[in-house]
Amino acid sequence: MMPTPQGLGVRFSYVVAAGLLLAALAACTSDEEPQQDEKYAFGKGDQYVALGDSYTAAPRTGPRDGRDGCQRTQNNYPHRVAEATGMVLVDNSCSGANTNSITRPQPTLVGDHPPQAEGLDERTDLVTIRLGANNYSMFGRILRCARFFGSAAKGAPCTDIDAASGPTGVDARLEDIEQDVISGLRVIQERAPNARVLVIGYPHIIPTGTTCELLPLPEGDYEYARRIAEGFNAALAAAADHVGVEFVDIFDATEGHDICADEPWIAGAELLKDSATPWHPYPEESQAVAEEILDQLE
């Protein structure tokens, strides 16, 4: 008996369905790797904890992030990185912090800010840390030199004072900062054993070969200020290398945008625009840091 047209249609449907099923199974068992659309190593749902001082908190560069006295903003580089990647951010940065703030509460005008290591655990995927410039009032030495002596002072009074400081001088304290950062990094690795850790350097703050009233130092003390700013960057890089984590160089990325530059990304004694606090980054610096971190994460 010849099959009816209706029977032929049913049989044809079975054949098509079987063919589609076989094609799907073949695709599932293919040796080809699936296409990866993600641009960065981390993405939506991954856990990101940021540690840092005011150069991370970036006060007055955007809407405030919390009322805990840390002057942290939603426009700083941790927020920019989290927005670009989709990571879940815990921003523990706080103005005035040093490496002790990793494990100890930090006093602020509204009470103690918890240790910055809080929030680190086995689920943490990424940690960025930029601390050290406030250790032993290192950056504060530049500010005091500008405030106590100013550009009218002759010679190099701050350099002379430092030379007589012995074990509390700049060179000795820079070695101490390296050890302090090493200790802090080990705490991070212990508490967040699965995290990728990025040590973030500081920007190009002090100009080379020029002076300006936005950085009112005695002319002979500009080299002293450069030695400090370049020194704590070197300390962070050495600490990262010692512990075996990554260092993100911001110094070169911000060259040409120091306090005295035509387009400064760091405010000096006076503000050129109302989007920072004196001696701290403008939003452009936060954006540059975020871009360097994102490049590292590609």
pLDDT value, residue 37: 53
The mean pLDDT of 167-180, rounded to a whole number, is: 98
Q: DSSP characters for 104-118?
A: S-EEETTEEEPPTTT
Which of 126, 137, 128, 153 shows the shortest CA–CA distance to 48? 126
**CA-to-CA distance for 71 and 58, rounded, in angstroms?**
8
pLDDT at 195 over 80: yes
pLDDT value, residue 38: 78
Domain ranges, ordered by start, for the chain: 38-297
Q: How do 47-52 and 196-200 pair as beta strands?
A: unpaired
Instruction: Could you please state the CATH topology (level 3) that the domain comprising 38-297 is classified under.
Output: Rossmann fold (3.40.50)
Residues across the chain = 298
pLDDT value, residue 145: 98
**CA-to-CA distance for 15 and 9, rounded, in angstroms?**
10
The mean pLDDT of 67-79, rounded to a whole number, is: 96
Mean pLDDT, the chain, as a whole number? Answer: 91
